[in-house]
Structure 1
Amino acid sequence: MFVRDLPVSAAVREQYRASGIEELYPPQAAAVEAGVTRGENVVAAIPTASGKTLIAELAMLTAEGPALYIVPLRALAREKYESFTELPGVSVGISTGDFDSPAEELGEEDIVVATAEKVDSAIRNGASWVAELACVVVDEVHLLGRPRRGPTLEITLATLQRRAPGVQVVALSATVENPDAIADWLDAELVESTWRPVSLRTGVYADGDVEFDDGSTLAVDVPPVGPNDDRGTEATAALVADAVDDGGQCLAFVRSRREAESLAARLAEEPSLQERYGGGPGRGAGSDGADAERGAEADTENGADAADPPGPRLAAAVRERGGTETGRRLATAVESGVAFHHAGLSSDHRSLVESAYRDREVGVICATPTLAAGVNVPARRVVVRDLERYTGEEMTPLPVLEVHQMCGRAGRPHLDPYGEAVLVAADDPGAVRERYVDAGPEAVESQLTEREALRTHMLSVVASGFADSKRGVLDLLDATFFAFQSPDVDLSGLVDEVAAELSGMGLLAVGGGNAAGDADGSDAPEGALSATDLGATVSRQYVRPETGARLVEAVRTIESMPAADVTPLTALGAVCATPDTRGTYLGNRERAAIYRYATQHAAEFTTAPDEAADFESWLCAVKLARIIREWIDGAAPETLVEQYRIGPGDLESHLERAAWLLGAADALADTLDSEVSVFASVREDLAASTDAEGDRRRRP
C-alpha cells in the first residue's frame, strides 16, 4: 500500500513522502485494511520500530473529531507532542501535570497528548472535552499488566468508552503472549506481526562467543579478567567496543543507577571510544594508514567528526547544566562518547543525553531498564548485562517482556543494516537462552483487584458522578479487562468491602444500612453510593484515599497544636509521610543525624516518634521534609544532593510532588472549614524557589 492511496490530506501525504515514506510497512498496511482509517477499533501488537506511530497518526488524522494519544511517561509525551506538531494543518496540545485541573483549554486542540494519570484526573475534574473525543490511541497498552500504572489505564479506558460512546480505540502494544485477549476486550481487530524494517538477531554471550538465534556466532575478544574485574562488565565493554569500531551505537542495560554509572566509567576507558568521540591521544596511535582510514570511515558513519570530536563540547554542555557530583561524572563520561541514563539524573541532563545520542554524538548509553519503555533511542547493538534486579528483599529475574523490549531497541531504520541484541550470561547460557530467547513474553494480566487500586478508582467513579450506586460501580467494573479475563469472579462482595473501607475513612457515604453503611448514608436507597465532601476533594486532587485520610488527620492534629509549634516542617512532615510520596533512601551513616534532627524538632511534627506505625518510614519522611525545608531556605541543590545522597532528578521529583501534595492538603483544610493555613504558605514558599520561566532557582 502506498502513501498516495491514504485517505489523508494532500499536505500530509506530501510530508510523508518528503520524509522518505512512499510505501507503508506491512503492519501499517494491515492496520489500514483492518479499518484504522475508517473508525474501527484496532489493536496493533508489533515490534519496536515497525511503524506504530504512523498507525496512530492515520487513526487520529481520519477521525471525525478530536483525538487523544495516551502515553505512559512524561518524556514520551513530550517526544510524541513534538512529532505530531510537525503534521500539517493539525493543532496539538500536551498535558502531563496539574492533577487538580480539567485542562479545558485542551478542548481546542485536534490532538491531545497526555499521560494516563492526567486523563484520569481530567475526568475526575469534569473535563468536558473528554465527551467530544472521536479517537483514543493508547501507546504501550501492554502496561495494563503493571501493578500501579495498569489499573489507572484500565479504568480510564473503560470510562472513556462510556463518556464518549462510539469513540474509536487504537491500542499499540509490544509483542505479548495474549494480544487477542486485549483485542477481544476492546472489540477490536487484531493486527499481529513480527515484521521489522531492520532484521534483528538475538544471542547469548558466554566464554568469548555469542551464539545468535539465527545460527550465526560472533567471537568476542575479551581480555583476561583480573581478580578485581567483573567478567560480565568486561564482556559488555568488549561487545560495545566491537560495535562502535564498526560504526554503530550501543545501549547497555544494567540493573541499577549505580551500575549504570559504574559501567559508563569503565567504558569511557575504551581507547576506541576515546579516539572516536573525544579526540583522545589514542587516535591513530600505533596503527598503520589503513587502520586510520578505517577509523575515519567509521567516524563518518556514526556521526563523530574526527576534526571536531563531540565529546569535549558535550562535556562542557553537561557542566553548564548542573554542578553536582552526578553531573561531573556524566561530563567525564561523555567526553569519551559514553553516557548514563537513569531517573536520578536531572531532567536537563536526561534530555541532553537523549538528544546527543540521537545526533550520534554519543556512542553508548548505559541505562536502567526504564529507558527501554521510554523515549526513542535505538541502537545497532543492545547489550543486556544484568538479567536480575533487587526487589528490596531478593534478586529476581527480569520479566521476559521487559528484556524483549530492551532487545527491540536494536536496529535503527535507515541507519543500520541489521540489529543485534546480546544477553550476557552470568552462569548458565542455556537457561538464559531458554528463558529469554526461545520463549515468548508473558501474558498481560489485569492488576485491578489490587486493593489500593480498587479503593482509588471506586472513589473516583463515584465522586465524578459516573456511578451513584453499587450497581453502577459493578457495571463499570464489568467493562474492565479484569472482568473480561475473569468472568466468573463475583465482584459484588469485593465492592462491599472496599465501600466499607472508604466509608471508614470518611470519604464515601453508603446507603441502605448494609454492612458498608454509616450514619451519613442511612437515609439513602439500598446500595446508593455518594462521595462525601472530603471524598470529592480527595478525588479531584488526585491523591490516594489513604493519602487523603492521613492529610485530614494531619489538619485536625495541627488545629490542636500550639501555634508556635506549627512551622513549615509541620506541613512538610505531614505530606512526606503519605503513600503518594516517593520514599528516599536512609543510609546507616545518616540515620543517627536524622534521628537527632527529628528529636530536636519533635514538637513540630504531627506524628511523634513513638507513635509512628513504621518508624523507619517515618524517619525517611523526616529526612525528605528536611531536604525540602532546606531547599526553601535557600540551600544549593549541589549541597542537598551531596549531603543527603540523592540524585538531582530525585530532588526535582520530590519538590514537584511536595508542591502537589501541599496543594491537596490545603484543599482538604478548606473542605474541613479549617483555619490551618500552613500548607498554603509553604506551597507559596516552594513556588517562590522557582523562577517565572518555570526553571529551578538553581538547577540540580
Structure 2
Amino acid sequence: MKIVSVDDLPLDGKVIQVLRNRGIVSLNPVQSEAIEKGLLEGKRMLLTSPTGSGKTLIAELGMISHLLKGGKRAVYVTPLRALTAEKYSTFGDWETLGIKVGVTSGDYDAEDAFLSKYDLVVTTYEKLDSLWRHGPEWLLETDYFVLDELHYMNDGKRGPIVESVAVRAKRRKILALSATVSNGEAIAKWLNAELVNTNWRPVPLREGILINDRKITLSFSDGTTLTLKGSDGILSYTEKVVEEGGQVLIFRSSRKMAETTAKKVASLNLKLRRGEVDSLASRLEEVEDAGSEEKNTLLELIKKGVAFHHAGLSKGLRDLIEEGFRKRIIKVITATPTLAAGVNLPARSVIIGDIHRFNRRILGFQEEISVMEYKQMSGRAGRPGYDSEGEAVIVVRNRREAERIARKYIFSPPEPLESKLGNESAFYSFLLGLFAEKGSSEERVRNLVYEAFLDRNVTESYLEQGFSWLKENEFLTNDYKLTVFGRRVADIYINPFSAKIIKDVLTSSQSEDCDIPYLHMLAMTPDGPIANVSKQEEDDLVYVSPCPTFMEEPDDEDELYEYLSALKIALIVHDWVEETEEDTILSKYNIGSGDLRSIVETMDWLTYSGYQVAKALKLESHAEILHKLNRRVYDGVKEELLDLIRVPGIGRKRGRLLYQNGLTKPEDLLMNQEKVKSILGEKLGEKVVKEAARVVGGVL
C-alpha cells in the first residue's frame, strides 16, 4: 500500500496527533515502504537509505507500535553521545502517550537499575555493551532494539562494539538503520531481517567536482558546468551560495585546515542579519567551559557569519555554533569530518575540501577517505523546507584527478560492511564480555561468537587462542569461569589488554609518590587518550617530566611516538590536578578546551579502573594512590581540596578560593555562612551552604 496521509496509519489517534503536532501529515517513500514491509507488525528489518531520509521517524513508529501492543521495553542505540542526547530530546514527545523515556551513557561500572521504570531507553553502543555484562533485569526483559547508524560497524574503533551489541540484540525483535551499503542483503541475512533499501532523499542531491586550477571549474554529474571567478575555488563557490541565500558546510581534513579556511571565508563580505549576529556573538563571551583564546578567535569569525567546528572546542562553544547555524545566523561552518556523523546540520551546499587525511602509520602519512565517509559528508547537502536541491562538491587540484575522483566517490556505492572483530584486542574483549553475562558457559559463548559477522574460519582461529590467552592472563579459570580479576575487568569495561598492562606494571613496580608514572601507564593502554606530539615536543617531553615513568623509553619509532603521546597526556593531567589554570594548560600543550575535557573524562575512568584492578589484585599501596588520584582527576584539584569539593557547586576555582580564606571542609562552610556568601556572592553562597548541610548530614 502507498500511504499518503498519517491519518491512514493503523495506529492510535494519540500517535497520529503527536505526528501532526510536529507538522507531519504524510509519510515519505522510505517511511511508506517500511510500513508496507511490516514495520508496525514488528517485522525484523534492516533499513538502508541516505542521510536525512526520515529513518528516525521509522524507528519511532516501530518502537511505539511495539510498546502500545504490549511490548515490554524498547532500546534505541546510537554510536555517539551527541546523537543520544538529540534522540532523547526528540522521543520526549511520546510521553504524552504515557510512554516513559529514559537515557543513559557513560559510567560503565553500573547496571542503571533506575531504567527499569522506563519504557523507551536511549543509549550508546558502548554503554549497552557494558550493561549486558552487568545483566540488569530490565535489560534482560527488553524485547525490541533499534540499532542506529549500523554502518559504524566499519569504524576501526567502534565497529567491534557495534557488532558485539548486534550479536545480542538480534536475538530479539530488531530494527537496524544504516546509510546505504553495498552488501545490504548479506547484513540483512546475518540479522535475520528483511532489507528495505532505497536511495530516496527529501531534497535531491547534485554532486560535482570543483577543479581549483588556473581556471576554477565546477562540473556536476548531470553534465552541467560552471566557471567561477577568483583564485580560490572554495571561497568563490562559498560566496556564490551565500549570495543566493544558502548556507555552506566546508569539510577539511584537519583542525588547522578548518580554522585557516574559516579565517579566509571571513574575509568575504557575506550578507548577514547584523542584530542576530551581534546577539549570538555576545552570548559566546558568556560560555564558561572554553579557553579565552579560542573564544576570542571565534568571536571575530562569528561577527563575519563564519565559525569553525571540531572536537577541540568545548561543548558550550559547539552547541552555540550549531544553534547559530540552525537559525541561519551563521552562514558558513568549516569543520572536520566528525561533524558529518555527529550532528544533524543540513546546508544548501557541502564542500569536501580534502579527500586525503593524515595517517602516520602510512608511508607519506596520507590516505584517501572512504566512499562511506564521503557519502556521510555529502548527505548533509540540502535543507528540507529551504532548498529545492542540495549540492555537494569535491575540491581537486587539477583536471587529471577529477575523473578518477568522480568515478570513485560520486558514481560508486559505499564500501561493504565488514567485521572489525578480526584482531586480538577486539576479539578477546568480545569474548570477555560474553563470559561476563548472566548464565554464561563455554558452550553459550561459543554459540554466540559464531553469530558474529566475522568469517567462520577467522573466528575458529581466534576462538581457541582467545580462550588460552584469557586463562594464561588470569581472566578465566580452567573451567571457563571468570576470576575475581576477570569479573572486575569486565564490569569496569576496559579492554583486557589494558587490564593486562596495568596488572603487569603494578605487580612488578613499587608504589610512587609522584602521579606521573600512574598517569603515563594508564595513557599507554589501548583505552588511553591520544595526543598529537609535534617534533619539538618529541625532543622536550622527556626532559620536562618531574619524575620517571614505570615504563622504559622504547627504541622503535612507532612505539616511541605512543610512549611520548602517553607522556604528554600524563603531563597534561598532572598539571590539571595541580590546579594549573586551564588557559595555561591549553596554551602550553597546544590543545583545545574540548580536548582537555575529553582527556580528563577518559583519565577519570582509567584512574578509577586502575584503582579497581589494583584492589582486585590486592595491591593495596597502588590501590590507595590510584583511588586518591581518581578523586582528584575529575575536578582537577590538589589533595587538600578533596574534602571541600564533595559539596555540589564547588569546583577547582571556588574550592581554592574558599580554602585560601580558611574554609577547608564542609563543616567550615556551615560554621561561617556569612563568610561564604561574602566570598561567593549572596545567591551562590546560600546555595553552597545548603549543599554543605546535606553533605555534613550524610545525605551525600
Residues 507 and 693 from structure 1, CA distance in 2 versus in 1: closer, same or farther, beyond 3 angstroms?
same
Question: Are the counterparts in 2 of residues 324 and 641 from structure 1 also a CA contact under 8 Å?
Answer: no
C-alpha distance in 1, partners of 2:87/2:32?
Answer: 22
Taking the aligned partners of 2:159 and 2:540, their CA distance within structure 1 comes to: 39
Question: 444, 458, 475: which is aligned to 1:472?
Answer: 444
> What is the one-letter code of the residue matched to 1:103?
D
Letter in 2 for 1:313: S
Change (3 A) 1:312 1:589: farther
Whole-angstrom distance in 1 between the partners of 2:564 and 2:407: 44
Deviations 1:126-183 (A, max 9, x none): 2222111121111111111222211111111112344xxxx22111111111111111
- Contact 1:183 1:190 survives alignment (8 Å): yes
CA contact (8 A) 1:178 1:444 kept: yes
SS of structure 2 residue aligned to 1:448: coil
Quick one: distance in 2 between partners of 1:493 and 1:409? 41
Cα separation, 2, equivalents of 1:399 and 1:611: 33
Q: Report the Cα distance in structure 1 between the residues aligned to 2:333 and 2:320, rounded to whole angstroms.
A: 12
Q: Indicate how the Cα distance of structure 1 residues 205 and 696 shifts in structure 2: closer, same or farther if over 3 A, else same.
A: farther
| Cα 1:384/1:553, change in 2 over 3 Å | same
Q: Give the count of matched residue pairs.
A: 624
| Preserved contact between residue 134 and residue 436 of structure 2 (Cα < 8 Å) | no
Partner in structure 2 of residue 415 of structure 1: 386
Q: What is the RMSD computed on CA atoms of the aligned residues? A: 2.1
C-alpha deviation, 1:70, in angstroms: 0.6
Q: How far off is 1:667 after superposition?
A: 1.1
| Partner residue of 2:311 out of 333, 343, 360 | 343
Q: Distance in 2 between matches of 1:191 and 1:437?
A: 22
What stretches of structure 2 of length at least 5 have no aligned partner?
638-644, 655-700
Deviations 1:236-259 (A, max 9, x none): 111111111111111111111111
* Partner SS for 1:203: strand
Give per-residue Cα distances to partners, 1:367-420, cap 9 Å, x unaligned: 111111111000111111111111113211111111011111111111212111
Q: Tell me which of 592, 595, 601 is aligned to 2:547.
A: 601
One-letter code aligned to 1:593: D
1:250 paired residue number: 248
Residue of structure 2 equivalent to 1:185: 190
| Alignment of structure 1 residues 297-316 onto 2, 5 Å | 305-306=273-274, 308=275, 310-316=276-282
Residue 610 to residue 689, structure 1, CA distance change in 2 (3 Å): closer
Match of 2:92 in 1: 85
Q: Tell me the CA shift for residue 611 of structure 1.
A: 10
8 Å CA contact retained: 2:554, 2:563: no
CA contact (8 A) 1:637 1:698 kept: no
Q: CA deviation at 1:490?
A: 5.9
Q: Which residue of 1 aligns with 2:64?
A: 61
Give the whole-Å Cα distance in 2 for the aligned partners of 1:9 and 1:568: 60
Are residues 1:553 and 2:504 paired? yes
Contact 2:432 2:490 in 1 (8 A): yes
Match of 2:693 in 1: none
Q: Is the contact made by 1:314 and 1:331 (CA closer than 8 Å) also made in structure 2?
A: no
State whether residues 514 and 547 of structure 2, in contact with CA within 8 Å, keep that contact through their aligned partners in structure 1.
no
Deviation at 1:635, TM superposition (A): 1.0
SS at the partner of 1:366?
Answer: strand
SS at match of 1:326: helix
Give the superposition deviation at 1:567: 2.9
1:301 equivalent in structure 2: none
Give CA-to-partner distance per residue, 1:412-439, whole Å, 9 cap, x none. Answer: 1112121111111222211111111112
CA distance, structure 1, for counterparts of residue 406 and residue 653 of structure 2: 48
Shift of 1:578: 1.6
Single out whichever of 103-112 and 605-614 deviates more from structure 2. Answer: 605-614
Aligned position for 2:222: 214
Rate the CA distance shift 1:151–1:324 in 2: closer, same or farther, 3 A.
same
Q: Confirm or deny that 1:573 pairs with 2:520.
A: yes
What are the equivalent positions in structure 2 for 1:39-438 lying under 5 Å apart? 39-63=42-66, 64-87=71-94, 88-89=96-97, 90-162=99-171, 167-206=172-211, 207-221=215-229, 223=230, 225=231, 234-271=232-269, 273=270, 276-277=271-272, 305-306=273-274, 308=275, 310-321=276-287, 322-392=290-360, 393=362, 394-427=365-398, 428-438=401-411
Q: Is the 8 A contact 1:575 1:581 kept in 2?
A: yes
Letter aligned with residue 22 of structure 1 = V
Q: Aligned pair in 2 of structure 1 residues 695, 265: CA closer, same or farther (>3 Å)?
A: farther
Comparing 310-319 with 380-389, which one deviates more in the overlay?
A: 310-319
With the length of structure 2 as denominator, give the TM-score of the two structures.
0.85
**Could you say what secondary structure the match of 2:619 adopts?**
coil
- Measure the CA separation in 2 of the matches of 1:585 and 1:133: 42
Q: Is the 8 A contact 2:352 2:393 kept in 1?
A: yes
Contact 1:383–1:424 (CA under 8 A) maintained in structure 2: yes
Cα distance between partner residues in 2 of 1:17 and 1:346: 36
After superposition, the Cα gap between the structure-2 partners of 1:642 and 1:430, relative to the gap in structure 1 and judged at 3 Å, is: same
- In structure 2, C-alpha distance between the alignment counterparts of 1:425 and 1:493, rounded to whole Å: 44
Distance 2:636 2:139 in 1: 34
Q: Which runs of 4+ in 1 moved over 4 A?
A: 608-613, 690-699
Q: For 2:551 and 2:459, how far apart are their aligned partners in 1? A: 37
Q: CA deviation at 1:688?
A: 4.0
Q: What residue in structure 2 maps to residue 3 of structure 1?
A: 6
Unpaired stretches in structure 1, ≥5 consecutive residues: 226-233, 278-304, 510-520
1:588 aligned to 2:547?
A: no
TM superposition shift of 1:465: 4.2
Instruction: For 1:649, give the aligned amino acid.
Output: G
Other structure's SS at 1:491 match: helix
Confirm or deny that 1:448 pairs with 2:421.
Answer: yes
Distance (Å, rounded) in 1 between the aligned partners of 2:650 and 2:595: 16
Contact 1:95 1:114 in 2 (8 A): yes
2:326 and 2:345 in contact (8 A); partners too? yes
**Which segment is superposed worse, 630-639 or 256-265?**
630-639
Q: Which amino acid aligns with 1:568?
A: D
The alpha carbon displacement at 1:119 in A equals: 0.1
1:649 aligns with 2:594: yes
- Residue 568 of structure 1 deviates from its aligned partner by 2.8
Q: Is the 8 A contact 1:567 1:678 kept in 2?
A: no
Bigger mean CA offset, 169-178 vs 584-593 = 584-593
- 1:12 and 1:219, CA in 2 relative to 1: closer, same or farther beyond 3 A? farther
Q: Distance in 2 between matches of 1:536 and 1:455?
A: 14
Q: 1:661 aligns with which of 606, 629, 647?
A: 606
- Code of the aligned partner of 2:446: L
Residue of structure 2 in register with 1:302 after alignment: none
Residues 294-351 of structure 1: per-residue CA shift (max 9 Å, x gap): xxxxxxxxxxx35x1x333323322332333233222221111111111111111111
Q: 1:646 to 1:606 in 2, by over 3 A?
A: same
Provide the secondary structure at the position in 1 that maps to 2:39: coil
1:466, distance to aligned residue in structure 2 (A): 5.2
Q: Could you tell me which residue of structure 2 aligns to residue 462 of structure 1?
A: 435
C-alpha distance after superposition, 1:604-662 (max 9, x if no partner): x3234479993443333222112112111211111101001112111101100111011
Residue 481 (structure 1) aligned with residue 462 (structure 2): no
Would you say the 8 A contact 1:382–1:406 is kept in 2?
yes
Residue aligning to 1:280? none
Cα 1:696–1:244 shift into 2, 3 Å: farther
Cα separation, partners in 2 of 1:127 and 1:21, compared to 1, 3 Å: same
* Farther-moved stretch of structure 1 (584-593 vs 43-52): 584-593
